[in-house]
Structures are given as structure tokens and as C-alpha cells.
Amino acid sequence: MRIVCLGDSLTWGLYGGSYVDALARLLPEHTLLNAGVGGNTVVNLLRRWERDVLPLQPDGVFVMVGGNDAISYHNPKVRPYYAKVQKIDGGYIDPETFESAYRELLTELQIAHLVTWVGLEPVEYSTDVVAALRAYNQRAAAAARALNIPVLDLLELLMPPQGAAEREPITMDFILTIGQREKIGWNDYESVRQRDGFTYTFDGVHVTPAGAQRMAGLIAAFIRHHS
Amino acid sequence: MKRLRRWWKGQSGSARLRLGLLFILVTLAAGFSAAGLLNSGDWGGFFLNLGTELAGAALTFVLLDQLLANRERREAIEEQAAQMKTMLIDRMASAVREVAVPAADELRRQNWLLDGSMVQVDLRRANLERVNLANADLREVNLYRARLNQADLWRANLADADLGGAWLNSARLWDVNLEGANLWQARAQNADFRRANLGNAEVNETKLDGADLREVSFKGANLRDARLIGANLHEADLTEADLTGANLSGCNLREAILRRAVLDQAIFDADTVLPDGKRWSPALDLSGYLDDE
């Protein structure tokens, strides 16, 4: 099968580990294609899936999105980024918009006769961000289940036993740091992960190479089970 | 008869109207001509004349119909081509390389990379790694933060293009025209810019480590805080270029023109080769290289 992984920076994989690359190694019988774009929300995926997915003539699509949507809604300080760079009206995706856009995206994929799987995005930044994303993930899962699309809850599967810590809200500095690190080709993930006390991510959001490997293992088993 | 009926049903409304009119004209022409031949006298002459006039009208009708049909066909093809071009340009802007590069290849096959169709196109953040854009007319194109690592841009025209923050590592940029282009914070390590024109370009904070910049024109360019570690600037023209704070460690500036260039706080080291072949040293006075003569 030709499988397109459609999502945000976690799928893109150039800032941290790439689960798509690891998945390609774990599923050599399939062709894996990466259609991840950093900073994307479900609205961005809905806008671009026809351009970025259909020409690849895939048989299936693994969709994973929601982190940016939840962060944009719960952290007003980051909204200028989503408004300016991602062209999102008002700079945020509210839960209702998220769910309806998610449903529309999955419906479109089904109409295009594509086998679809949904991954619920993981995060471990803080208790607040985890709670916000969990609520968005529940909506994504509801949209998927209404269409009989299998769902893999990576947030719960990867959550450390001690849960997330209390932290300051995500600000524009967090997003600007991503851009600055990309520019200099920074990749010292492990020392930052240890310093800030994360487990499978290095900044609470983006996965380390080891985290990507873990994610890929879970996704590979999930895809095998549902195909 | 059945086949004729099926064929008739297969025709569009306007085609049926045209065929009906033609049928009437031909029938009338034949009828009047026959009547003219069968009647003698004034009425016979009148019918014959009418018949030949109508035959002429039928012929004119057929010719005009053909001309109109050809024009319609041409317009339909042009419209299809325009739609295809728009779709391909949209795909070329994709951040998914497997979408963007095949679209660029198809644009090349259709000659649209070279005929001015791409001028001012928005390709922000497109993933065009290893794409072939040789000779492409990309004037004023927006390639902000686009990924062009190892791309072939040989002789491309990128005048006034926006390449801010773009990735151009190991790209082939021989003879490329980047006059007035913006390369602020672009990464072009080990890129090959031989004989390129970067006159009046914004090259500030650009990473050009190890780049081949032989015979490049940087006339009037802004190279403030650019990183040129180990770059080869042999015979480069840096007339009136602003190199304030630029890192020229290990740079080869042999036979480069530094007339009226600004070198304030520029960084040199013992491996920097100066225009006359001398190695840089802290004691060396560089003002001689900057004179008009």
C-alpha cells in the first residue's frame, strides 16, 4: 500500500525525530510518504489535502493533528503565529470548528476511497496543555468513530506514569525558538529533554528520535491490525 | 436508419441547429435549381439564380461554421491548458516534495518554466529539493523559506526574487541572476554560485560557508553579518558591497575586487587569502584594497 502520513510538525519530523521514517523501516511492505507541515491545524489540512495527498495516489492516509489547534485556543499569546503564518482566522481553532473540520476532512478522504486511520496526537508539555489536547482528541475520536475509522490514542499510550508537570503556558518564545533552532540545524534533543524533565519529547511537544521510534512501533502495530 | 438516428441524438443542441439549417439551405438550393432547369422563361431563370445563390450561401455557411468550430476548439484547449498551468503551479508550492517536484517537471515539459508563466508566483515554503529549475524564468518569485537543497538553478532568472530563509545548501546556481534578490538568512552552504549576479542583493546574515563564489558579482550587495567561512571568492566583484560584520575566515579573495567595499568589523583569519595573494594578518592595512584605483 501507498500510505500518506498527513499532519503537522510531528509528522514533518525535521524538528526532532521522524516517526514517518521509523514507520517506513517497520513497514517495508508499504510505501510511506510524508505530508506533514510544521504548525498546521486541521483547517490547514482540510485546505491542502487535495493538493498534497491526492497527487501521491495513495491507498491509505494516516491522519494525526490537533496539537496546534488546542494550543492556539488555550494560549492566546501564540495566536499571532497561527493568524499570520498558518492563515487561521483570529489565530485559533475553537473546539467546535476543530470537530467539524476534522469530520469534513475524514469524510473527504472517505469519498476519495482512501483507507483512513486516525492517530490522536500526544503531548506532555504541562497538565493544562495535556487537558486541552485531550478534549480536542476526544472530538477527533468522535468524528472518526462516526465514520468507522480506527483510532489510535497516542496521548494516553505515551503518557508517562507520573503524568505531566505544572508549567507556564506556551508563548510566542516557544514558537520562535523552533524557528531559530531550525535555522542553525540544532539537534541536541537529549540534553534538553533531560534538563527539562520530559520523557519521549524534548520540549513537551516534539518527539525525540527515541520517542519517534516508540510512536512508530505503536502506529505500525495499529496499521497492521487495521489493514 | 437506426444508426443515423443514434448519431443525430449524439449531437449537441447547437450542432443540430447548424445541421438543420444546412440541410434546409441545401434542400432549397437543390429544389430551386431543379425547378429552374425544368422551367423555361423568366421563372426558370429566377429559380436557377435563386438555387445557385442558396448553394453559395450553404457553402459560406459551412466555411463559417468550420472557422467558428476551430476557434471554439482552440479556446477550449487554451482554457484547459490555463487550468492545468494553475493546478501545476499550485502543486509546485506544496511542502510535500513528492508533489512539488513532479509538478515542476511537468511545468518544464510544457515550457511554462521558461515562458514567463512563473513570474511573481508564490512558492513560499515549497519543498523543491533536488528539483531541476535550470534556465527557469523565476523573476520576483516568492520562495521564502523554500527548500531548494541540491536544486539545479543553472542560469535561472531569479531577479528580485524573495529567498529569505530559504535552504539552498549544495544547490547549483551557476550563472544565475539574483540581481536585487532577497537572501536574508538563507542557507547556501557549499552552494555553487559561479559567475552568478548578486548585484544589489540582500545577502545579510546568509550562510555561505564553503560556497563557490568565483567570479560572482556582489556589486552594491548587502552582505552584513554574512557567513562566508571557507568560501571561494576568487575574482568576485565586491565593489561597494557592505561586508560589515561578515565572517571571511578561510575565504579566498584572490583577485577579488573590493573597491569602496565596507569591511567594518569583518572577521578574517590567517587562512583568509587577500586579493593580491597575501594571507591576512592583524597588522595588515586593508584600506589599500578598498581604493578606487
- Give the pLDDT mean for A102-109: 97
Q: Which residue of B has its CA nearest to A184?
A: B187
Chain A contact set for B125 (CB, 8 A): 37
d(CA B239, CA B256): 9
In this structure, is the dihedral angle defined by the CA atoms of residues A75, A80, A85 and A87, taken in order, positive or negative? positive
What values do phi and psi take at B162, rounded to 5?
A: -105, 110
Cβ–Cβ below 8 Å for A33 and B125: no
Query: For testing the chain B interface, which of A8, A18, A52 should be mutated: the one with the most B CBs within 10 Å?
Result: A52
Q: Which residue of A has its CA nearest to B184?
A: A183
Among candidates A85, A34, A76, A107, which has minimal Cα distance to A171? A76
Asked if the C-beta of A183 comes within 8 angstroms of chain B's C-beta atoms, the answer is: yes
Straight-line distance from the first to the last Cα atom of chain A, in angstroms, rounded to the nearest whole number: 10
d(CA B2, CA A109): 45
What values do phi and psi take at A169, rounded to 5?
A: -60, 155
Query: For testing the chain B interface, which of A57, A183, A184, A186 should be mutated: the one with the most B CBs within 10 Å?
Result: A183
Alpha-helical runs (H) found in chain A: 9-12, 19-26, 42-52, 67-74, 79-84, 95-111, 127-146, 154-158, 172-184, 189-196, 209-225
Straight-line distance from the first to the last Cα atom of chain B, in angstroms, rounded to the nearest whole number: 94
Residue A119 bridge partners (DSSP): A64, A152
Chain B contact set for A35 (CB, 8 A): 96, 99
d(CA B65, CA B19): 10
d(CA B216, CA B41): 92
Phi-psi sector, B125: left (phi>0), alpha (psi -120 to 50), beta: left
Residue-level pLDDT at B293: 61
Q: Record the cell numbers describing residue A92, joined without a space.
A: 485559533
The answer to whether residues A147 and A110 touch, using CB atoms and an 8 Å cutoff, is yes
pTM here? 0.82
Cβ–Cβ below 8 Å for B96 and A183: no
Among candidates B280, B226, B287, B282, which has minimal Cα distance to B261? B287
The answer to whether residues A34 and A8 touch, using CB atoms and an 8 Å cutoff, is no
d(CA B70, CA B48): 33
Continuous segment of H or E residues that includes residue A6: strand A2-7
Residue-level pLDDT at B69: 84
Asked if the C-beta of A48 comes within 8 angstroms of chain B's C-beta atoms, the answer is: yes
- B228/chain A closest Cα distance in angstroms: 15
Among candidates A223, A157, A219, which has minimal Cα distance to A19? A219
Cβ–Cβ below 8 Å for B95 and A51: no
Query: For testing the chain A interface, which of B99, B129, B187, B206 should be mutated: the one with the most A CBs within 10 Å?
Result: B99
Tell me chain B's radius of gyration from C-alpha atoms: 34
Cβ–Cβ below 8 Å for B99 and A55: yes
- Out of A34, A55, A183, the one facing B91 most closely (by C-beta) is A55
Cα angle value B145/B148/B153 (rounded, 5°): 125
Cβ–Cβ below 8 Å for A48 and B185: no
The answer to whether residues B272 and B251 touch, using CB atoms and an 8 Å cutoff, is yes
Query: For testing the chain B interface, which of A47, A51, A81, A86 should be mutated: the one with the most B CBs within 10 Å?
Result: A51
SS3 label, residue B131: coil
- A127/chain B closest Cα distance in angstroms: 32
Amino acid at B13: G
Asked if the C-beta of A3 comes within 8 angstroms of chain B's C-beta atoms, the answer is: no
In Å, what is the CA distance from B210 to each residue of A101, B230, B244, B248, B261?
A: 47, 5, 19, 11, 21
Asked if the C-beta of A21 comes within 8 angstroms of chain B's C-beta atoms, the answer is: no
* Beta strand pairing call for A31-36 and A151-153: unpaired
The answer to whether residues B89 and B108 touch, using CB atoms and an 8 Å cutoff, is no
The answer to whether residues A158 and A215 touch, using CB atoms and an 8 Å cutoff, is yes
Phi-psi sector, B217: left (phi>0), alpha (psi -120 to 50), beta: beta
d(CA A54, CA A122): 26
- Out of B99, B125, B185, the one facing A56 most closely (by C-beta) is B99
ipTM, two decimals: 0.82
Asked if the C-beta of A33 comes within 8 angstroms of chain B's C-beta atoms, the answer is: yes
Cβ–Cβ below 8 Å for A35 and B96: yes
Give every CB contact of residue B70 below 8 A, 6+ residues apart in sequence: none
Residue-level pLDDT at B181: 97
SS3 label, residue A63: strand
Interface A-B: count of C-beta contacts within 8 A = 28
DSSP state of B188: -
Q: Which regions in chain B score pLDDT beneath 50?
A: none
Asked if the C-beta of A31 comes within 8 angstroms of chain B's C-beta atoms, the answer is: no
Q: What is the DSSP string of A180-223?
A: HHHHHT---HHHHHHHHT-SSBSSSSSBPHHHHHHHHHHHHHHH
Q: Which tens digits make up the pLDDT trace of A109-150?
A: 999 999 999 999 999 999 999 999 999 999 999 999 999 999
Cβ–Cβ below 8 Å for A37 and B125: yes
Q: Which residue of B has its CA nearest to A32?
A: B98
d(CA B88, CA B214): 35
- B94/chain A closest Cα distance in angstroms: 6
- Out of B90, B95, B98, the one facing A56 most closely (by C-beta) is B98
Q: Record the cell numbers describing residue A7, joined without a space.
A: 499532519
